A and B are shown apart, each in its own frame.
Chain A
Amino acid sequence: EAEVAQSPRYKITEKSQAVAFWCDPISGHATLYWYRQILGQGPELLVQFQDESVVDDSQLPKDRFSAERLKGVDSTLKIQPAELGDSAMYLCASSLQQGASYEQYFGPGTRLTVT
């Protein structure tokens, strides 16, 4: 069964350091999402890509966060500099988004701890 891959699974970093997360969506899925999930809450969208283009980054803190999907396949989310409040689970999801298919499939996430 095809899955969304993410790495690393866990990351501990000191505040003010840079950190990057990688996501490989399900093959053929044109739409890719990055979510942040704070402990005890639901996922919140950070950025959405359609192929290599950003279609929604309204909730991305652009002063410190950046995301790219250069070839329209895998994607990288970067935080620089990391702050204590960035400690959370970072989830990647992908979707076929063809016709009326809205199903999003999530990866296992990257648990970030900022010390």
Chain B
Amino acid sequence: QQQVKQSPQSLIVQKGGISIINCAYENTAFDYFPWYQQFPGKGPALLIAIRPDVSEKKEGRFTISFNKSAKQFSLHIMDSQPGDSATYFCAAHRGSTLGRLYFGRGTQLTVWP
């Protein structure tokens, strides 16, 4: 059973546009929600993360919006650039210090120049 559901599977955005990727979860024990960016042939790289006591976190062009009551969170990429073209994964952490991450299936983002 997929612990974190991610959509859309693929996304095409024009340069300068806003990219939005959504994730949903059921387990209220999740306590940390990171987003990872992965380029072909590379390992995932931590992009930005949020905890459930915060509704929004912004780092540069990347923003996470978190809705605890709806058990949903999303990644917004403002002013999308061709260099942002990659696969993005949301994830959720469960447990104490030795807890584990559960990943979504990923969204392949393509930004057209």
Contacts and interface: CB of A to CB of B under 8 A. Distances in A.
Interface of A: 4, 6, 31, 33, 40-45, 48, 50, 55-56, 91, 93, 97-100, 102-109, 111
B73 interface: no
Contacts of B6: 42
A29 to B, nearest CB: 13
Nearest to B93: A102
Nearest to A45: B100
5 contacts: A33-B100, A56-B98, A56-B100, A102-B32, A103-B49
A42 B43 contact: no
A85 B102 CA distance: 21
A104 B46 contact: yes
Interface string B39-59: 001111110010000000000
Most buried by A among B45, B89, B103, B104: B103
Contact of B43 (A45, A55, A108): A108
B60 interface: no
B99 interface: yes
Interface of B: 6, 32, 34, 36, 41-46, 49, 89, 91, 93, 97-101, 103-106
Given A102-B93, A103-B34, A44 B103 contact: yes
Given A103-B49, A106-B44, A109-B42, A42 B99 contact: no
Given A91-B43, A91-B44, A109-B42, A42 B89 contact: yes
Q: What are the 5 tightest A-B residue pairs by CB atom distance, in nearest-first order?
A: A42-B103, A106-B43, A102-B32, A106-B44, A109-B43
B62 to A, nearest CB: 15
B43 A4 contact: yes
